[in-house]
Structure 1
Amino acid sequence: MSTTARDLLEWSPEAVVFDCDGTLMDSERHWQEARNRAFREYGLQPPPGFAEQATGLYYEDCGRLMAQSVRKPELAEGLTAALLDHFLELVTDDPVTMPGATRLVRLLAARLPLAVASNCPRVVVEGSLQRAGLLTRFQHIVVPDTGDRLRPKPHPDLYAQAARLCGVRPHRALAVEDSLTGVEAARRAGLRVLGVGPRPPGDGATRADWWLPSLDAPELLAWADSCDTPGAAPEP
């Protein structure tokens, strides 16, 4: 175990901010299928390696990237709309939590304020968490918002705002992320980061303080169960 991982296990955050897609909800596969369907709708094929490039991107940024990747920038608006339509259909039909997500959230919600910082539209995040029975566990849902000038990840805005709403300084909050896009956003905002899911290639995992294969890792659940906190979070 790395020094940063040991440090994290010995640390008690004052708030925890979760990503949603691929972290709490098993919906990254829906985004991938939605991208494939949107490409097919326009008679196109995703270029090799596109899935890795698109993971964690805000859906509007992803739509633009889709158009650029096939050298048809004029299709950006149409591909973006098709992407969101297909995703909403898929996630509504099959909302599934990631392994360990429900138990971890329930353990932490009894001790800390929790928030979600997601690049997805609010209707997607709240709908997914509602169907999973987790929405009331979170005090705040933070998504990109032009009115509040909150930019999507990898900008730090969502995590900085989530920490602020939870009433803590960023360095006293923990981010939980599955993508390097999200890890970058959290680090830039000043949060410590737990990475979860398939280990990224190269040295990507070292950008997080600790990287685990899933949220049901015994050491993580044990840490959450014994987390020494200043007090329980208020009821939502």
Structure 2
Amino acid sequence: MSDTHSNQPDLHKKEAHEEVESQTAAAAATDAAASAAPGPASPLAAMDPKKLAELLKNPTASLQLQPQTDWIYGALGAAAGVVGFVLWNWLFQEAIKTKLGIFGAWGGLAIGNLFGVSVPAKFLLLGLFSIVLLAGSLTLIGNWRGARKRDWREAAAYLGGTQWLFGAAWIVSGLLAFVSLQLSMLLGLFLLLVNLVLLVGLAQDLHEVGRERKFLYITYSLAAYSLLFYLITSILA
């Protein structure tokens, strides 16, 4: 056998080794470039307007969110719901003042003095505590009575993400008060009822609560929420 033929296996091994080293170096360079690339400055910068638009159209689109990265949509959605609820109450009171004139202004001042804080500030605190306590109660009781446990990111994304539409709808309801106080109140109460039913039903599915446990799940969750909310309102009053 000639030397040329005897050296061929070594040459093939050398070429294969060099190819592997080349691929490894390329992969390392790619990883280094990816790690060196600047990420988003904040979760807000990574928000997708399309996802936000979808949440505004359909609250249950929150189920499509990825909790580990999209929880910010839920957190801001809950905030939007609270702000919308506060604006509805404030606009409703302003509409009353407009219709009643100076007597309405005196009434608003008397209410503010009674609670010790401005009415919008009180509603802001109540709205904030309400959504946090409701989501917290549904999650804690769901982790206890349901077949599947959820962490705070999942609760924020899935439950909080439903509130974008309600926040916008409450603002519309508040503006409607300048046309008709009755229609504004009816729409506002309708939104509260639908919101409660949606959140409870959604939480049941997320925690995979069995049919035989649904009644107790709803009872325990709303009882815990009502008790905690009562304690908060007692402190703020």
TM-score range, shorter chain: under 0.3
Q: Decide which structure has greater helix share.
A: 2
Q: Larger Rg: 1 or 2? A: 2
Structure 1 or 2: more strand by fraction: 1
After TM superposition, the score normalised by the length of structure 1 is 0.27
